Amino acid sequence: MDFEARVQGLAALADPARLRLVDLLGEGDASPGELRAQVGLSSNLLAHHLKVLEEAGIVSRHRSHADKRRTYLRLHRDRLAGLLPSARSQSGEVGGVERVVFVCTANSARSQLAAALWQEASPIPVASGGTHPGTAIAPGAVSAAHRHGLTLVRDRPQSLEGVLRDGDYVVTVCDAAHEELRVVGEASPTTVRLAGVSHWSVPDPVATGTKAAFDAAHDEIAVRVADLAQRLHAASGETP
């Protein structure tokens, strides 16, 4: 969906009455009369709101297959999904993502869990690295991976230096790495052309050291991995 269409769609939803209509149509198709009975709007006002939603492509109407004088409104869920922010690179829409690279300071916990989750969620290759890699993967991260049935991508941390290559989509999963690098890839701006950059502000489970902290990090990263995988595949036209 192009930018202007997204603006139109979001503007159409930025009204309590229209948002309520979308909620109702999310439950199933309905006639204008049925909608009017539920929202308590006059016929003229209801017609106005439905026209706005139709012009934005969010709903459409069709004649009843039984009583041809009756019409039904239908919600287009794909149109709503297209309104959400999409994965983008600095120069525009993401395209040609060759690999996803997760980065944290030590490459001992969050980036390791993220890479393990990614290989379960997407066929796009994955790697990870640290701005100041540790000597070993944190035991808590290893235990969390086992608890959640994950296979770690690597058996030890590695330095980010030399890892990045053209077509990588980089995700920093700790604030320290993000703030150190700002825009990941600045270390080699003339040799690496990234497909995109994102930052996830995930609390460091190593600092707390508890099972709950590692599970919380896993759960937050899992949600973000699923979202990114869906958006990257939508941008490329592929199916995860």
**pLDDT tens-place string over residues 135-165:** 999 999 999 999 999 999 999 999 998 899 9
Q: How far apart are CA 4 and CA 14, in angstroms?
A: 15
Q: Which residues of the chain have pLDDT under 50?
A: 87, 89-93, 183-190
Strand 59-63 to 71-75 pairing = antiparallel
Q: Is the same domain home to 7 and 126?
A: no
Number of domains composing the chain: 2
- Indicate whether 47 and 128 sit together in one domain: no
Could you tell me if 96 and 20 lie in one domain?
Answer: no
pLDDT at 95: 57
Intra-chain end-to-end CA distance of the chain, in Å: 20
Looking at the fold, whether 130 and 62 belong to one and the same domain comes out as: no
Identify the pLDDT of residue 188.
44
> What number of other Cβ atoms are within 10 A of residue 222's Cβ?
18
Q: What is the structure's pLDDT at 78?
A: 82
Of 8, 18, 70, nearest in space to 49 by CA: 18
CATH code for position 228: 3.40.50.2300
User: Domain of 61?
Assistant: 3-81
Same domain membership, residue 130 and residue 202: yes
- Would the pTM count as exceeding 0.85? no
Task: Based on the fold, state whether residues 67 and 94 are members of the same structural domain.
Answer: no
